[in-house]
Amino acid sequence: MVGATGVRYYLGIGAGAACDPYKTFPLKAYHSAVLRAMIDRDKNHPCVVLWSLGNEPDTEHFPQSAYDYWRPLYEQAHTQDPQDRPVTMVCCQNDYTRDTTTRTMDVVCINRYYGWYNLSGDLENAAYAFQQELDFWAGIDKPLVLSEYGADTVAGLHGPAPEMFTEEFQVEYYKTINACLDSRPFVVGEWPWNFADFSTQQGPMRVGSCNRKGLFTRERTPKLAAHYFKDRWAKKQPNDR
């Protein structure tokens, strides 16, 4: 899937508010070397359209340290790539008003779970909160990709109302969030998380030790949301995002 979309990302850095991870963990030289190796390896791959420097680092608690860490890597990618393709990094659900790094990328990529981890099950207020954030990004004036969004869904679980973990809720969740995306011309992409369910460690958030946000089961049986996206994307025109 990564190869097909032409996106490369690999590293997340975070420690919470307790300590500055950028001054605590000596990662920068290694990160630079891995980035260089990746671009050397993939620069001629025909489907690479965008370089990503990392996934869900902490850009909120120590914003200046984050910027000082990521900016040289951003410049390195532009300098090293002979085609000078766009560069991004993927930010997680955070206080986006404090994040001074993501907004400096060529494409803003955000992972958001309004209606699932935030405002769980309350899709009306989830849409309102997401629109509030999109208002902020509209002012940044950069193309934006919603690079992760989704809802855990137990295949075969149905109910009279679209409640969390049912297949009906997953469809309503995507309809709600996609309506927000469709109202914003600067949004250039939507990447549902995830293609298929996958095994995880056990825990109270993982039914059957699985991340069940897949549009398909682990056996590749489609859930209702897979049919929803098939219909949605079939109606897209060549010039649509």
Mean pLDDT score of the chain: 93
pTM of model > 0.95: no
- pLDDT tens digit sequence for 174-194: 999 999 999 999 999 999 999
- pLDDT tens digit sequence for 47-74: 999 999 999 999 999 999 999 999 999 9
pLDDT (mean) for 131-160: 98
Answer CATH for 112-241 from 3.40.50.300, 3.40.50.2020, 2.70.170.10, 3.20.20.80:
3.20.20.80
Domain ranges of the chain: 1-105, 112-241
- pLDDT tens digit sequence for 8-54: 444 555 555 678 989 888 899 999 999 999 999 999 999 999 999 99
Three state DSSP letters for the chain = CHHHHCEECCCCCCCCCCCCHHHHCCCHHHHHHHHHHHHHHHCCCCCCCEEEEEECCCCCCCHHHHHHHHHHHHHHHHHHCCCCCCEEEEECCCCCCCCCCHHHCCCEEEECCECCCECCCCHHHHHHHHHHHHHHHHHHCCCEEEEECCCCECCCCCCCCCCCECHHHHHHHHHHHHHHHHCCCCEEEECCCCCECEECCCECCEHHHEECCCCECCCCCECHHHHHHHHHHHCCCCCCC
Catalytic residues: 56, 148
